[in-house]
C-alpha cells in the first residue's frame, strides 16, 4: 500500500452537542459512473449525504476515492448518473459549476495554496472576486478563520515560509472564508510529518464540532472512529461497504473490507 | 579496551585564517593562480585582453571629433599622427547624430518625439516599478497608446479621441450581456460600428461640439492644441523608428502571446487549431519574409485605394512575429505550474479568466521572465531588419549617409554608434529582468 497510515489517537473529549445529522440532503449521487478513457474508474455510485454528516471514505490506493469526491465539485466530470449538490444538479452549465464550487470547500493532499500570495491574500482572494465582498470585510473574515486555525500571526507571510501542518490549516481557513456548506478533504494529512498531523486533525475535529458537513478521504482511523458518523469503504471504483464506525471496525461484513482493515490496522 | 573515548578539557579560541587565504592575495591565489597551469592561462588571457583593448581603445580615443567629411578627417589624421590607420573618425557622428536618432523628422518638430519618449517613461514607470511609482501614473499608461501616434504623426486630436472612444464603447457594451463570449463579440462589433461612424463621417468635431454646448463650439478642429502638423511616415527614421516599432511590438506581443498560449492549451478544438497553426506558421517563416509581405503583398489583398501606412503594417508584422515566440515562452511557464494551482483556483469557484489573471498568469509569467525578456531583446534588435524594405532605421540610415559623397566609405564609426545605442537599450532590459527576478524571488520564498 502506497499511502501512509497513521492511527493518530484523538485524545480530547469531543463536544457532540452540535454534531447533529439532519434530514435535509446535502449531496445526492445516484447511479453515477465515470471513465478515464476506457478505464471504468467509478461504477454505479449511489450515495446520499445529509446535512451535518461526517463521512470518512477509505480504501486501497487507486480505488477511486479521490475521483469520487472530486466529482462532487466537478474537478472531475462524471459521464452518467446524477449528482445534486445543495439542490443544484451538476451539469455542463458553467454557472452551476461555479456556484457549487463556491459553496463546497476542498482541501487537498498538497494544500494547493497560491505561493505568490500572502496567507491573508490566499484567504481573501475568492471572497473578494467570487463573492464580491469588500476587501476590508474579507480581511476581517480571513483573520477570524486564521485565528480559528490558530495561525493569525502568519497572515503576512507567504505559504513557502510555513510548515506543512500550518499550510494545511491555512488551506482549511481559505476554504472556510467562502462560508462553505460542505467540506471535502482529500487525504489532508498524508503528506505531513506525524507531529503535524495532530494539529490538522484538531482543526478538522473543531470543524466537525460546529456541525459542518464533511466528506473526508483519510486513513486516520482514530479520526474515523471518533468523529465520523459513517465510514465508506471503496474498492475497484465501487462502494463495497458502509456503516457506522463502531460496526465498521469491529464487525466488517465484506471480505475485502476485512482484508483492508487487517492490512492497515495490523491485526 | 580500545582507546576511543576522548574528553576535551580545554576549548580552543578562535583564530584568524592564514593570510594566503583571505584578502587580495587570497583572492588572487584562489581565482587566478591556484596552480602553475592556471597561472599560465591567466597570463595568456591578460595578454589577449590587453592586445584587443589597446587596439580598440587606441582607435576609439586617438580619433578625430570635428570634421565635415571623410577626406577632411583623413587630412587631420595625417597631420596629427602621420597615418590614417587605427584612428576613428567620429566627425560623422558629430555631423549626423540627429539624423541617426530622428531620421528625416522635421527638426523644428523634434520636441514631439522627445515628448513622446518622456511620456513613454511616465507610462512605463508604474508598470515596471509598481511598488515605487504612484498608480495614478497608470492613467498615462492608458492614454499613451492613443497619444503616441498623435504626437508622432500629428493631425487632429479627434482621431485618437475617436479611437479611444471606440475602446470605451466596446468595454461598456461588452459588459452588458452575461457571459464572456457574447460580451466579447458584442463589444468588438460595437467598436467597429463606432469607428465606422466616427471616421466615415468626418463631422465628429462639429457634432461633438454641438452636443457639448456653446463653449466648445468655438473649438475648431484644426487649430493649435487640437491639431498638430502632420508628418509623413517616410520621414520617420533612425533610432526613433526602431524604438517605436520595438515598443509597439513589445507592448502588444505580450498580451497577444498570453492569449495565444492560453488558446493553445484550450480544449476548444477550433481555437486550439487556430492558435497552433498561427504559432507554427509564424515561427516557421523568417521575419524578413513577413516584412516583405507587409511592404508589398499586403497591397494585393487590401481593397485598391486604401492607404495603409507602411510603418503600421511593419509594426503589425513584427508584433505578430514576436507574439508567436512569446506564446511559446509563456507556454513553457504554464507547463511549469503544478496542476494543483488550477485545482485550487477551481475549487474556490473562480471562473476561467479570474483563475488565469489572479493565479495562473502571475506565476507563469514569473517563471518565464528570462525567456520573455530575451524575446523582447531579440525583437528590438530585429527591428533593424526593416532597412531591407527601405525604411530608414539606423542601419538603413547608415547606408544613406554613406551615399553622401562627404561620407562615402565610412563604416565602423557608424556601426559602433548604432551598436552602442542598441546595447544601452538591450542591456537596460536585461538588467531590469534580473532586478525583477530577484525582487520576486525574495518576495515569496
Ligand atoms: N486524470 C486521470 N487520468 C487517467 N486515470 C486517472 C486519472 N486520475 C486518476 N486516474 C486513475 O483512476 C484510478 C483512481 O484514482 P484515484 O481516484 O486517485 O484513487 P485513490 O484516490 O483512491 O487512490 C487510479 O487507477 C488512477 O490511476
Ligand atoms: Mg487519492
Residue % of chain A over a pLDDT of 90: 83
Higher pLDDT, B13 or A7: B13
* pLDDT above 50 (res A2): no
Q: Where are the domains of chain B?
A: 21-61, 94-105+235-445, 106-155, 156-227
Q: Which residue does chain A place closest to B362, by CA atoms? A: A116
Of B87, B79, B80, B97, the C-alpha closest to B61 is: B87
- Among A41, A63, A191, A235, the mutation site with the greatest number of ligand 1 atoms within 8 A of its Cβ is A41
Query: Per the structure block, which three cell numbers stand in for A66?
Result: 479521490
Tell me which residue has cell 509581405.
Answer: B293
Q: What is the pLDDT of residues A53-76, one digit of tens each?
A: 999 999 999 999 999 999 999 999
Question: Chain B: nearest CA to A125, how far in angstroms?
Answer: 8
Asked if B434 contacts B370 with a C-beta cutoff of 8 angstroms, the reply is no
Calculate the average pLDDT of chain B: 86
* pLDDT above 70 (res B208): no
Q: What is the pLDDT of residues A202-226, one digit of tens each?
A: 999 999 999 999 999 999 999 999 9
Q: Given the CA of residue A67, which atom of ligand 1 is nearest to it? A: 17
Q: What is the pLDDT of residues A151-189, one digit of tens each?
A: 999 999 999 999 999 999 999 999 999 999 999 999 999
CA–centroid distance, residue A61 to ligand 2 (Å): 7
Dihedral pair phi/psi, residue A31, rounded to 5°: 50, 40
Band of pLDDT at residue B50, cut at 50, 70 and 90: very high
**Closest CB to B340 among A108, A125, A174:** A108
Asked if A34 contacts A74 with a C-beta cutoff of 8 angstroms, the reply is no
Q: What is the pLDDT of residues A220-230, one digit of tens each?
A: 999 999 999 99
Query: Could A178 and B351 be called an inter-chain contact, meaning their C-beta atoms sit closer than 8 Å?
Result: no
Query: What size, in residues, is chain B?
Result: 445
Provide the 3-class DSSP secondary structure of residue B203: coil
- Among A64, A65, A240, the mutation site with the greatest number of ligand 1 atoms within 8 A of its Cβ is A64
Band of pLDDT at residue A3, cut at 50, 70 and 90: very low
- Average pLDDT score over residue span B125-144: 89
Band of pLDDT at residue B442, cut at 50, 70 and 90: low
CA–centroid distance, residue A36 to ligand 2 (Å): 15
- What's the pTM? 0.85
Q: What is the pLDDT of residues B194-207, one digit of tens each?
A: 888 877 765 555 55
Q: What is the pLDDT of residues B393-434, one digit of tens each?
A: 888 888 888 888 888 888 888 999 999 999 999 999 999 999
CA–centroid distance, residue A95 to ligand 1 (Å): 27
User: For ligand 1, atom 17, which residue shows the shortest CA distance?
Assistant: A64
Of A2, A112, A81, A202, the C-alpha closest to B341 is: A112
Q: What is the pLDDT of residues B294-312, one digit of tens each?
A: 888 777 777 776 777 888 8
Query: Could A116 and B341 be called an inter-chain contact, meaning their C-beta atoms sit closer than 8 Å?
Result: no
Band of pLDDT at residue A267, cut at 50, 70 and 90: low
Query: Per the structure block, which three cell numbers stand in for B236?
Result: 520617420
Calculate the average pLDDT of chain A: 92
CA–centroid distance, residue A64 to ligand 1 (Å): 6
**Closest CB to B351 among A98, A115, A116:** A98
Q: What is the pLDDT of residues A116-156, one digit of tens each?
A: 999 999 999 999 999 999 999 999 999 999 999 999 999 99
pLDDT value of residue B252? 94
pLDDT value of residue B27? 82
CA distances B241 to A109, B155, B377, Å, are: 54, 19, 16
Give the C-alpha separation, B314 to B221, whole Å: 30
Burial label for A242, CB within 10 Å (0-12, 13-18, 19+), is middle
Band of pLDDT at residue B293, cut at 50, 70 and 90: confident
Name the CATH architecture for the domain at B94-105+235-445. Orthogonal Bundle (1.10)
**Closest CB to A101 among B347, B366, B445:** B347
The residues, any chain, with a CB within 8 Å of residue B103's CB and separated by 6 or more, are B235, B236, B237, B238, B240, B241, B392, B397
pLDDT value of residue A8? 63
Amino acid at each position: 500500500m502506497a499511502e501512509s497510515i497513521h492511527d493518530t489517537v484523538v485524545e480530547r473529549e469531543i463536544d457532540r452537542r452540535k454534531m447533529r445529522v439532519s434530514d435535509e440532503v446535502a449531496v445526492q449521487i445516484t447511479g453515477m459512473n465515470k471513465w478515464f478513457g476506457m478505464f471504468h474508474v467509478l461504477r454505479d455510485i449511489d450515495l446520499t449525504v445529509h446535512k451535518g454528516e461526517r463521512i470518512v471514505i477509505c480504501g486501497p490506493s487507486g480505488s477511486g476515492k479521490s475521483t469520487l469526491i472530486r466529482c462532487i465539485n466537478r474537478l472531475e466530470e462524471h459521464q452518467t448518473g446524477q449528482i445534486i449538490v445543495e439542490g443544484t444538479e451538476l451539469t455542463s452549465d458553467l454557472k452551476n459549476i461555479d456556484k457549487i464550487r463556491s459553496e463546497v470547500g476542498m482541501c487537498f493532499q498538497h494544500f494547493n495554496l497560491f505561493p505568490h500570495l500572502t496567507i491573508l491574500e490566499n484567504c481573501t482572494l475568492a471572497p473578494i472576486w467570487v463573492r464580491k465582498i469588500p476587501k476590508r470585510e474579507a480581511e476581517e473574515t480571513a483573520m477570524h478563520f486564521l485565528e480559528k486555525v490558530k495561525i493569525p500571526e502568519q497572515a503576512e507571510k507567504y505559504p513557502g515560509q510555513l510548515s506543512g501542518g500550518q499550510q494545511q490549516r491555512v488551506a482549511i481557513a481559505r476554504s472556510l472564508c467562502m462560508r462553505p456548506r460542505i467540506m471535502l478533504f482529500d487525504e489532508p494529512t498524508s503528506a505531513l510529518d506525524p507531529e503535524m498531523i495532530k494539529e490538522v486533525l484538531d482543526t478538522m475535529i473543531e470543524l466537525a464540532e460546529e456541525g459542518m458537513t464533511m466528506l473526508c478521504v483519510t486513513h486516520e482511523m482514530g479520526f474515523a472512529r471518533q468523529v465520523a458518523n459513517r465510514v465508506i469503504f471503496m474498492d475497484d471504483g465501487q462502494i463495497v461497504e458502509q456503516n457506522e464506525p463502531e460496526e465498521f471496525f469491529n464487525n466488517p461484513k465484506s471480505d475485502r473490507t476485512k482484508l483492508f482493515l487487517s492490512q492497515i490496522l495490523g491485526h | 579496551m580500545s582507546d576511543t573515548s576522548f574528553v576535551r578539557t580545554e576549548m580552543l579560541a578562535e583564530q584568524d585564517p592564514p593570510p594566503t587565504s583571505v584578502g587580495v592575495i587570497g583572492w588572487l591565489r584562489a581565482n587566478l593562480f591556484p596552480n602553475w597551469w592556471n597561472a599560465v592561462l591567466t597570463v595568456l588571457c591578460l595578454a589577449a585582453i590587453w592586445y584587443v583593448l589597446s587596439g580598440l581603445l587606441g582607435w576609439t580615443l586617438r580619433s578625430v571629433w570635428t570634421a565635415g567629411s571623410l577626406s577632411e578627417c583623413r587630412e587631420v589624421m595625417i597631420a596629427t599622427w602621420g597615418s590614417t590607420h587605427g584612428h576613428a573618425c567620429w566627425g560623422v557622428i558629430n555631423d549626423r547624430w540627429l539624423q541617426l536618432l530622428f531620421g528625416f523628422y522635421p527638426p523644428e518638430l523634434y520636441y514631439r518625439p522627445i515628448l513622446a519618449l518622456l511620456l513613454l517613461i511616465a507610462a512605463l514607470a508604474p508598470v515596471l516599478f509598481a511598488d515605487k511609482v504612484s498608480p495614478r501614473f497608470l492613467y498615462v499608461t492608458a492614454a499613451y497608446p492613443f497619444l503616441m501616434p498623435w504626437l508622432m504623426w500629428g493631425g487632429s486630436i479627434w482621431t485618437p479621441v475617436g479611437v479611444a472612444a471606440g475602446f470605451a464603447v466596446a468595454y461598456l457594451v461588452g459588459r452588458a450581456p452575461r457571459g464572456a463570449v457574447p460580451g466579447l463579440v458584442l463589444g468588438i462589433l460595437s467598436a467597429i460600428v463606432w469607428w465606422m461612424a466616427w471616421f466615415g463621417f468626418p463631422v465628429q468635431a462639429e457634432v461633438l461640439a454641438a452636443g457639448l454646448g456653446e463653449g466648445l463650439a468655438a473649438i475648431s478642429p484644426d487649430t493649435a492644441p487640437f491639431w498638430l502638423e502632420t508628418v509623413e511616415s517616410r520621414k520617420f527614421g533612425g533610432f526613433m523608428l526602431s524604438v517605436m516599432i520595438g515598443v509597439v511590438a513589445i507592448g502588444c506581443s505580450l498580451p497577444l502571446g498570453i492569449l495565444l498560449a492560453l488558446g493553445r492549451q484550450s480544449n476548444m478544438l477550433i481555437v486550439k487549431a487556430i492558435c497552433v497553426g498561427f504559432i507554427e506558421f509564424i515561427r516557421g517563416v523568417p521575419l524578413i519574409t513577413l516584412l516583405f509581405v507587409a511592404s508589398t503583398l499586403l497591397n494585393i489583398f487590401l481593397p485598391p485605394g486604401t492607404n495603409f501606412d507602411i510603418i503600421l503594417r511593419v509594426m503589425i508584422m513584427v508584433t505578430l512575429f514576436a507574439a508567436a515566440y512569446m506564446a511559446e515562452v509563456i507556454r513553457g511557464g504554464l507547463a511549469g505550474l503544478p496542476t494543483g494551482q488550477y485545482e485550487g483556483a477551481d475549487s474556490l469557484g473562480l471562473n476561467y479568466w479570474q483563475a488565469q489573471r489572479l493565479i495562473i498568469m502571475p506565476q507563469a509569467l514569473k517563471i518565464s521572465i528570462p525567456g520573455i525578456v530575451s524575446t523582447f531583446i531579440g525583437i528590438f534588435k530585429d527591428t533593424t531588419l526593416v532597412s531591407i524594405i527601405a525604411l530608414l532605421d539606423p542601419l538603413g540610415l547608415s547606408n544613406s549617409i554613406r551615399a553622401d559623397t562627404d561620407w562615402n566609405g565610412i563604416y565602423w564609426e557608424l556601426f559602433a554608434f548604432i551598436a552602442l545605442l542598441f546595447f544601452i537599450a538591450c542591456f537596460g532590459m536585461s538588467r531590469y529582468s534580473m532586478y525583477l527576478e530577484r525582487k520576486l524571488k525574495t518576495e515569496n520564498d
